Amino acid sequence: MKLTEQTKSISHENALKGRRWVLIDADGRALGRVASRAASVLRGKHRPDFTPHQDAGDFVIIINAARVKLTGTKLVDKLYHRHTDYPGGLKTTTAGKILAVKPERLLETAVRGMLPKNRLGRRLFTKLKVYRSAEHPHAAQQPETMAL
């Protein structure tokens, strides 16, 4: 049976209608626990109508990213690598330096690593909003606070 454009748009509209905004406070929480919860909500695994190949998750706002905790000696020992696309351009940074300079990137990297590595994962990642402090510009969306 072939789906028509009308039925495709109706099912997509129904999926968008049920979208919520979820607020997660990372203050004093472990990085991995915050990231895994955010990735699960982005994928929609908390919903009864979860389908692995569809974008049925909610929007996620993470606040207080600068106050996230790393257990043990991860601030010094955990390394993040990136490449400049030039020969010999591998750059390595510790988690402590990233947390001091741009803490949003630390959480974004952790959540991105927990999402699928395909175009669905890239689309899911656009629904993640991470902020350094408690202020965020999404008050109009009336986000629900989620406990970890």
CATH number for 83 = 3.90.1180.10
Q: Flag whether 15 is in a domain.
A: no
* Count: domains in the chain: 1
pTM equals: 0.87
Q: Flag whether 4 is in a domain.
A: no
Average per-residue pLDDT for the chain: 91
82-125: per-residue pLDDT in tens?
A: 999 999 999 999 999 999 999 999 999 999 999 999 999 999 99
Pairing status of strand 79-83 against strand 21-25:
unpaired
Q: Flag whether 89 is in a domain.
A: yes
Whose CA is closest to 68, among 109, 40, 122? 109
Pairing status of strand 21-25 against strand 90-94:
unpaired
Query: What is the CB neighbour count within 10 angstroms for residue 55?
Result: 18
Q: Which residues contact 55 (CB under 8 A, 6 or more apart)?
A: 15, 44, 120, 123, 124
**Structural domain span for residue 35:** 22-145
